[in-house]
Chain A
Amino acid sequence: MEVINIKKQKKVDRQKVDLRRVRTKIWADRYMYLMTLPVVVYFLIFKYWPMGWLRIAFYDFKILRGFKGSTFVGLKHFKTFLHNPDFIRIMWNTLYLNILSLIFVFTAPILFALLLNEISKNKFKKVVQTISYLPHFLSMVVVTSMITTFLSPSIGIVNAIIKKFGYETIHFLGRPQYFRPIMLVSGIWQGMGWGSIIYLSALAGIDMEQYEAAVIDGAGRFQQVLYVTIPGIANTIMIMLILQIGNLLSVGFEKVYLLQNAQNIAVSEVLSTYVYKMGIQSSNYSLATAVGLFNAILSLILVLTANRLSAKYSEVSLI
């Protein structure tokens, strides 16, 4: 009996000590908690509260009536969207634009970095590099207006050249078949310089001795690039590629929206513009949220898969 009591007493004492230790620890960290407080409040209100509002995807939500006055409809809005004849088209437009940009816009900075790296005049290199960042700092509205001017049938330089060769002017922005090329070319223009930063820094990190060794082995310039330079940045390319795969379902809203018009809507409607139109313009909040949620979940799956692949192949986990 007594033995048990002593044991119990010891346990209680230990718990007391633990509790006291916890308290002192919390007290010692009080300034830490004070710092996290505004951050936690901000994240709860502006990041997590909206996540709670995602449930309107499962309601026939009426903003004036709130949740109590709205009926729960389960997956109705998801079904509506999946059965929408435009569904396949919108998904395809989103995915296809991203795949094309993976092929062209993603590779452009790599090639640019490799070519720039071969230039031995440092000053010239620096100037080209600095100029190449410029487009990154321009807004989508500005870029779109530049595209409009550039391709204008009346004052645009492209049509001026076409005319000079004796052909008919082309109204590029009104022809759906030019929408994707315009997106890609302008995307390359905007991102090539900026995107090359990361590769140039990886290139700068390659050991000079590797090149010297290659030269001793009789490698020419081209072979040095093939056997030293490219393997040297392969890891970086891999990481960027994986990040890009995680983004396959998100097309930046702004440029697409700005370049969109009645003629090219069949190829230019993507998930983000559809959500905007359904939600903000038509106030069909529930349907728009359902589409947004559908997109977010697929993107999350893509990100997680991409991260898996990354961990497996490049030993770099991004999460």
Chain B
Amino acid sequence: MSIPNKNSKGEKVFDIFNIILMCVLGIAFIYPVLNVLAISLSGSSPILRGEVTFFPRQLNLGGYRDVFTNKYIWMSYANSIFVAGVGCVLGLIMISLAAYPMAFGDFYGKKIYNYMILFTMWFGGGLIPTYLVMSKLNLVGSHWALIFNFLAPAYYIIVLRSFFVGIPESLIESAKLDGANDLICMIKIVLPLSKPVLATIALWIIVAHWNNFLGPLMYLNDKSKYTLQVILNDIVLQASGALYEISDAVQSGDGVMVVPQQVQNAVIFVSMVPMLIIYPFVQKYFVKGVMIGSIKG
């Protein structure tokens, strides 16, 4: 931060301008999210007149009633949680197993092993060959295609390895003198010391799975398997909510009128909730992880 020079008038003007600009940007970052929430809670006529901005007008919970009573949305929610959860746990195991030998190993074939992992950062089979392999393995149509496709990205392995490298090797050597093998060293010594970076990677994986759209679009073909992003796309962007028993026309039930925009925004908001809850708490880990990844990677 520069040292302010109190004498200059120009600098004071700049400071005020800067604070105003930052306020405007802050509002711009958060406005679309507030707008989604506001529309999802508003009555139909203010929505259709385009009057809803920051706050709901003519409070109406009909949108959420439709969302919470819809079995497809619940199902997709469960599917998203399954993919993100299983992907995260298995991914962490795999990434740890991959990174430990890279950081502490001195075995025949280590170089080849390193290159085998690193090479996939810059080159890969791409969309279609991967799809064909998944179909050979009978994984198309299954959540496992999504999980396996994103199980141990090389970048995450490198991030973890960079962190492992900072752990003093003497800790491991002394444990080995006490008869511990590498697997035990990893579980008992290295992983407990790596909690912050493991948390970071776990959250990266969760966010990536939660927001993944291309994967489910390619690999899933059954409504009961769809993840949130797929049905979100169908309901909101393709206006084919009818597939999921969500009307695209104005409808009324229990005396409340509900316009499609309201239901759509309710679905959007419901899909965002986990991310909105997670991110303020974990951002410091994320920040740390981004730094490890970019500086040492």
**Interface size of B as a range:** 35 or more
Q: Mark A32-46, 1 if CB is under 8 A from B, else 0.
A: 111110111011011
Contacts of A229 in B (CB 8 A): 2
A112 proximal to B (CB < 8 A)? yes
Cβ-defined contact, A144 with B237, below 8 A: yes
Neighbour of A142 across the interface among B97, B132, B268, CB < 8 A? B268
Cβ-defined contact, A54 with B268, below 8 A: no
Known: A42-B151, A43-B117. A138 touches B183 (CB 8 A): no
* C-alpha gap A240/B52 in the complex (Å): 39
* C-alpha gap A212/B186 in the complex (Å): 46
Contacts of B113 in A (CB 8 A): 36, 40
Cβ-defined contact, A142 with B127, below 8 A: no
Known: A29-B105, A32-B101, A43-B116. A54 touches B213 (CB 8 A): no
Q: Mark A108-143, 1 if CB is under 8 A from B, else 0.
A: 000010011111110010011011111101111110
Interface residues of A in 142-170 (CB under 8 A from B): 142, 144-146, 148-150, 152, 154-157, 159-160
Neighbour of B94 across the interface among A22, A38, A51, A280, CB < 8 A? A38
Contacts of B133 in A (CB 8 A): 45-46, 49-50, 53
Residue ID in chain B nearest A47 by CB atoms = B120
**Interface size of A as a range:** 35 or more
* C-alpha gap A240/B3 in the complex (Å): 27
Q: How far is the CB of B86 from chain A (nearest CB, A)?
A: 15
Q: Which of A1-9, A78-86, A292-300 interfaces with chain B?
A: A292-300
Contacts of A39 in B (CB 8 A): 94, 97-98, 117, 152
Cβ-defined contact, A120 with B213, below 8 A: no
Cβ-defined contact, B101 with A128, below 8 A: no
B25 proximal to A (CB < 8 A)? yes
Q: How far is the CB of A40 from chain B (nearest CB, A)?
A: 7
Residue ID in chain B nearest A255 by CB atoms = B213
* C-alpha gap A211/B4 in the complex (Å): 10
* C-alpha gap A198/B294 in the complex (Å): 8
Known: A141-B229, A144-B237, A197-B290. A47 touches B125 (CB 8 A): yes
B168 proximal to A (CB < 8 A)? no
Cβ-defined contact, A134 with B213, below 8 A: no
Q: How far is the CB of B41 from chain A (nearest CB, A)?
A: 14
Cβ-defined contact, A224 with B22, below 8 A: no
Residue ID in chain A nearest B207 by CB atoms = A137
* C-alpha gap A228/B5 in the complex (Å): 15
Cβ-defined contact, B4 with A120, below 8 A: yes
* C-alpha gap A35/B94 in the complex (Å): 9
Cβ-defined contact, A293 with B107, below 8 A: no
B149 proximal to A (CB < 8 A)? yes
Q: Mark B250-279, 1 if CB is under 8 A from A, else 0.
A: 000000000001001100100110011011
Contacts of A70 in B (CB 8 A): none
Interface residues of A in 39-80 (CB under 8 A from B): 39-40, 42-43, 45-54, 56, 63
Q: Which of B8-16, B59-67, B194-202, B241-249 interfaces with chain A?
A: B8-16
> Nearest 5 pairs between A and B by C-beta?
A50-B125, A139-B211, A53-B129, A292-B126, A50-B129
B interface residues, Cβ below 8 angstroms from A: 1-5, 8, 11, 14-15, 18-19, 21-23, 25-26, 28-30, 32-33, 35-36, 39, 47-50, 52-53, 94, 97-98, 100-101, 105-108, 113, 116-118, 120, 122-133, 135, 137, 148-149, 151-152, 181-183, 186, 207, 210-214, 218, 229, 232-233, 236-237, 261, 264-265, 268, 271-272, 275-276, 278-280, 283, 286-287, 290-291, 294, 297
A interface residues, Cβ below 8 angstroms from B: 22, 25-26, 29, 31-36, 38-40, 42-43, 45-54, 56, 63, 112, 115-121, 124, 127-128, 130-135, 137-142, 144-146, 148-150, 152, 154-157, 159-160, 189, 192-194, 197-198, 201, 203, 211-212, 215, 220-222, 224-225, 228-229, 239-240, 253-254, 257-258, 272, 275-276, 279-280, 285, 288-289, 292-293, 295-296, 299-300, 303-304, 318-319
Instruction: Give 4 new A-B contacts, CB below 8 A, not counting A31-B183, A134-B276.
Output: A32-B101, A50-B133, A130-B283, A137-B278
Query: Can you list 22 A-B pairs with a CB-CB distance of less than 8 A?
Result: A26-B107, A35-B186, A36-B97, A47-B125, A53-B125, A134-B29, A138-B275, A139-B271, A141-B211, A141-B232, A141-B237, A145-B237, A145-B264, A149-B32, A155-B49, A192-B25, A198-B294, A215-B5, A254-B213, A280-B131, A289-B126, A303-B122
